[in-house]
Amino acid sequence: MREEALKVIESVLSQGRTAMVEFEAKQVLKAYGLPVPEEKLAKTLDEALKYAEEIGYPVALKLMSPQILHKSDAKVVMLNIKGPEELKQKWEEIHENARKYRPDAEILGVLVAPMLRPGREIIIGVTEDPQFGHAIMFGLGGIFVEVLKDVTFRIIPITERDARKMITEIKGYPILAGARGEEPADIDAIVDLLLKVSQLVDELRDYIKEMDLNPVFVYEKGKGAVIVDARIILKEPKEKKPEVSSEYKERCA
Amino acid sequence: MAEKIVEELRPFFDPKAVAIIGATNKKGKVGNVIFENFKMNKERGIFKGNIYPVNPKLDEIDGYKVYHSVEELPDDTDLAVISIPAPFVPDTMRQIAKKGIKAVIIITGGFGELGEEGKKLEREILEIARKNGIRVIGPNCVGVYVPDTGVDTVFLPESKMDRPESGPIAFVSQSGAFAAAMLDWAAMAGIGIGKMVSYGNKLDVDDADLMDYFIHDEGINVVTFYIEGVKDGRKFMESAKRITKVKPVIALKSGRTEYGAKAASSHTGSLAGADTIYDAVFKQTGIIRAEDFEHMFDLAKAFAALKDKLPKGDRIGIITDGGGAGVMASDAVAKFGLRMADLSEETVKFLKEKFPPHAVVGNPTDVVGDTDAERYRLALEAFTKDSNVDAILVIVLFQVPLLEEEKIIDILAEYQKKSDKPIVAVAMGGKKTDRYARMLEEKGVPVYPTPERGVRALAGLVRYAEYLKKVKGE
């Protein structure tokens, strides 16, 4: 698991980058058994057409560029493409949008992805605290995180008990448990996600700085979850082993 | 490892002989107040060790021989308290190392909190300490207060600041000013403090060390912390997880500043304030977070009395002699995530038989304004036997005319002793009530001035009991 993930990380670092594009981030996640969709990176239109056939229409296209991390701002995500003709047209459009947004954008390829059945949206994230190290965050996606900041944190590594408590302690929990006659969401799948992210970051703590899995679709009980979009920020190679700080900020009043 | 920390920190709390470096006869000076504290406690027969003032310019203070240097000190010296200006401390530390003293409290300020110069001094001191196995509390602190052994380095004189009696609560504070104010307040509120440590810049001895020490301190039931920041987060978490399995830890954390937003390039980073991280740390380690100092000592008081009879669940039974207070308590039960107990049929039947018709049987049970102590006894008898009740909140408005104050106090104390269910009391009122509340607390029943604070303290007991159940199951 670690070896495979490290290969991807080292390759990104060797290109002088610390921000992984979605495709790279998902490869790291996949190495740890996290659920990512069957996606393929197409370098050419022909490849894209071939992959779309394999995956089956409708598909989505997402342009991968280290300079374009906010893909929707740059309009480089095209959804619900129904056939080869439309794909050819969107292929042109997506490249044009990228050039307009960042003329200097280096394009690593275009991700061809299946259209996913919508589920309840959650966000899982990781940040690093200077005193306590990496912390994992959990919350519901969309307005719950944007407006209400209904999220909860734990220091990594977490136990299964921590993971379950995180899920039940957010205010929006009833939405996952099944409010208004809705079927309950797959809580065990979320627990599994949280534990795997915790393990991944614990083992790669010298490399990973921050992470956003946003959104993750969670389906009904027993039907699992899938990571729709992912970002990983790596530490600058020199940051790898932080020196023990001799700063003493605290003081007596 | 565990015993090592106990041995290392012992001289801070119970020294054979204390050297007061910077002792002086000038009233009001730090070095004078500390000397006076020890001297007074020696005269009272509380401090049993020897007192050695150190000052190159004096030969004698109040009949005590003054040593001109650390080198001259008798060999039984095992604690040094330093109150000389910062630039002289490293040299003194070297002499202390040579003398073989292993515990040092540096009261003096003017170190890391002032900038780079001070930090350099701190690094120098730490290096000497580490090389020679010396443990250091401070600098920039008020040090240690232990009423049982008479150690008192708090440089605020007794004429200006009262000292609390001994008790099962340990109080640790980063801030010296806060520590002093809290001790003064605890003395007034009748809250017993077994050990107080104010560690200031925590150059060496820190929260984690103290937690490791207090695990083994049989006189301490509950540990309270006032924290501004933690240096070694992982060490803090390890120690916290160990101690919370044995005794409760309550933390008041200040400095709710946002730092996350500025450096974060991820969504998650922008949502992680310093405070949310501390929340996570406390949850994961079983530390109970206090909202403010009142909450901290409300909880401490409850744990000090009831640590060994924690509630088995979250179902609260309420007995009151005032309807309004009962409603307030019920509201608080919901607010703090507890449940109102559903009284058993036997309880209801028993009380309905015994009570006059105008008393209200239920939860809350209202013994009403014409109650005597006996009616409370009946309610307590039924509630303590009811398997649907996990903890009991008893509201006593001492003002009602027929209530025999001392009798109700004895009844509450009796049931606290013989029942395995924790009983917490609420007494609302003024001076007269306060006097009875004190009497009740002395008999082992924690008392709160409002229903909300009483229920909040119960909620702390319930949450800690739940935490213990979970960690022991893992």
pLDDT band at A237 (very low <50, low <70, confident <90, very high): confident
pLDDT of residue B266: 66
Q: What's the total number of domains in chain B?
A: 1
Nearest to B307 by CA among B147, B460, B473: B460
pLDDT of residue B474: 63
**pLDDT one-digit tens code per residue, B113-159:** 888 889 999 999 999 999 999 999 999 999 999 999 999 999 999 99
Supply the ipTM of this predicted assembly: 0.84
How many Cβ atoms are within 10 Å of A161's Cβ, its own excluded?
A: 14
Poorest-pLDDT segment among A4-13, A108-117, A174-183, A233-242: A233-242
Pick the CATH number of A38-115 from 3.40.50.150, 3.40.50.10540, 3.30.499.10, 3.30.1490.20: 3.30.1490.20
pLDDT of residue B254: 80
| pLDDT average, residue stretch A159-184 | 93
Query: How far A180 CA sits from the closest chain B CA (Å)?
Result: 23
CB contacts of B260 in chain A (<8 Å) are 127
Domain range holding B420?
Answer: 309-473
Q: Assess contact for A122 and A144: CB atoms under 8 A.
A: no
Q: Assess contact for B333 and B316: CB atoms under 8 A.
A: yes
pLDDT band at B388 (very low <50, low <70, confident <90, very high): very high
Query: How far B257 CA sits from the closest chain A CA (Å)?
Result: 14
For B301, the token pair is: 């008081």
Q: Assess contact for A68 and A141: CB atoms under 8 A.
A: no
Sole residue written with tokens 């190290």 = A133
| A37-40 long-range Cβ contacts below 8 angstroms, 24+ apart | A37/A113, A37/A114, A37/A116, A37/A226, A37/A227, A37/A228, A38/A114, A39/A111, A39/A112, A39/A113, A39/A114, A40/A111, A40/A112
**pLDDT one-digit tens code per residue, B415-470:** 999 999 999 999 999 999 999 999 999 999 999 999 999 999 999 999 999 999 98
pLDDT, chain B, mean = 94
Collapsed DSSP state (helix, strand, coil) of residue B422: coil
Query: Which chain A residue's Cα is nearest to B274?
Result: A129
Residue B401 lies in a domain: yes
Does B113 reach chain A within 8 Å, measured CB to CB? yes
pLDDT band at A239 (very low <50, low <70, confident <90, very high): low
Q: Do the chains contact at A165 and B283, CB–CB below 8 Å?
A: yes
Query: Which chain A residue's Cα is nearest to B272?
Result: A127
Q: Do the chains contact at B268 and A158, CB–CB below 8 Å?
A: no
Chain B, window 32-91: residues with a beta carbon less than 8 angstroms from a chain A beta carbon: none
pLDDT band at A243 (very low <50, low <70, confident <90, very high): very low
Residue B462 lies in a domain: yes
Does A108 reach chain B within 8 Å, measured CB to CB? no
CA angle (B387 as vertex; B411, B316 as ends), nearest 5:
70
pLDDT of residue B231: 85
Strand spans (E) along B147-210:
151-152, 169-173, 193-198
Sole residue written with tokens 């057409």 = A49
pLDDT band at A249 (very low <50, low <70, confident <90, very high): very low
Residue of B109, B111, B284 lying closest to A154 (CB–CB): B284
Query: Which chain B residue's Cα is nearest to A232?
Result: B266
How many Cβ atoms are within 10 Å of A160's Cβ, its own excluded?
A: 12
Q: Do the chains contact at B174 and A250, CB–CB below 8 Å?
A: yes
Does A147 reach chain B within 8 Å, measured CB to CB? no
CB contacts of A154 in chain B (<8 Å) are 280, 283-284
Q: Where is B32: in which H helix or E strand?
A: helix B30-43
B80/B205 Cα distance (integer angstroms): 15
For B455, the token pair is: 């229920």
pLDDT of residue B93: 97
Q: Phi and psi for B422 in degrees, rounded to 5?
A: -70, 140
pLDDT band at A247 (very low <50, low <70, confident <90, very high): very low
Q: Inform me whether the pLDDT recorded for A163 exceeds 50.
A: yes
How many Cβ atoms are within 10 Å of B87's Cβ, its own excluded?
A: 12
Chain B, window 250-309: residues with a beta carbon less than 8 angstroms from a chain A beta carbon: 260, 264-269, 271-272, 274, 276-277, 279-281, 283-284
Chain A, window 44-73: residues with a beta carbon less than 8 angstroms from a chain B beta carbon: none
DSSP state of B88: G
pLDDT of residue A19: 92
User: Residue A220's beta-bridge partner residues?
Assistant: A185
Query: Which chain A residue's Cα is nearest to B276?
Result: A153
CB contacts of A197 in chain B (<8 Å) are none
Question: Which residue type, as a one-letter code, is found at position A78?
Answer: M
| pLDDT average, residue stretch B358-385 | 97
Query: Which chain A residue's Cα is nearest to B143?
Result: A252
Domain parsing of chain A, residue ranges: 38-115, 120-239
pLDDT of residue A71: 86
**Cα B232 to Cα A202, A248, B208, distances in angstroms:** 17, 11, 9
CA angle (B12 as vertex; B10, B17 as ends), nearest 5:
95
Length of chain A: 253
pLDDT of residue A253: 38
Does B122 reach chain A within 8 Å, measured CB to CB? yes
Residue of B176, B201, B260 lying closest to A127 (CB–CB): B260
HSE, side-chain direction, 13 A CA sphere, residue B208 = 16
Does B229 reach chain A within 8 Å, measured CB to CB? yes
Collapsed DSSP state (helix, strand, coil) of residue B380: helix
Instruction: Give the number of A-B residue pairs with CB atoms closer than 8 Å.
Output: 125
The 3-state secondary structure of B251-319 reads EEECCCCCCHHHHCCCHHHHHCCHHHHHHHHHHHHCCEECCCHHHHHHHHHHHHHHCCCCCCCCEEEEE
Q: Are strands B222-227 and B193-198 parallel, antiparallel or unpaired?
A: unpaired
Sole residue written with tokens 């990973």 = A208
Nearest to A239 by CA among A121, A146, A130: A130
A187/A224 Cα distance (integer angstroms): 9
| pLDDT average, residue stretch A124-136 | 94
CATH number at residue B388: 3.40.50.261
Instruction: Let me know if domain A120-239 sits in CATH 3.30.470.20.
Output: yes
pLDDT band at B372 (very low <50, low <70, confident <90, very high): very high
Question: Which residue type, as a one-letter code, is found at position B19?
Answer: A
Query: How far A144 CA sits from the closest chain B CA (Å)?
Result: 12
Query: Which chain B residue's Cα is nearest to A20?
Result: B266
Residue of A155, A210, A249 lying closest to B284 (CB–CB): A155
Query: How far A47 CA sits from the closest chain B CA (Å)?
Result: 32
pLDDT of residue B113: 80
**pLDDT one-digit tens code per residue, B225-282:** 998 888 899 999 999 999 999 999 999 988 655 554 445 566 777 777 668 899 999 9
CB contacts of A157 in chain B (<8 Å) are none
A143/A156 Cα distance (integer angstroms): 26
pLDDT of residue B272: 72
pLDDT of residue B329: 98
| pLDDT average, residue stretch B332-341 | 97
pLDDT band at A145 (very low <50, low <70, confident <90, very high): confident
Does A233 reach chain B within 8 Å, measured CB to CB? yes
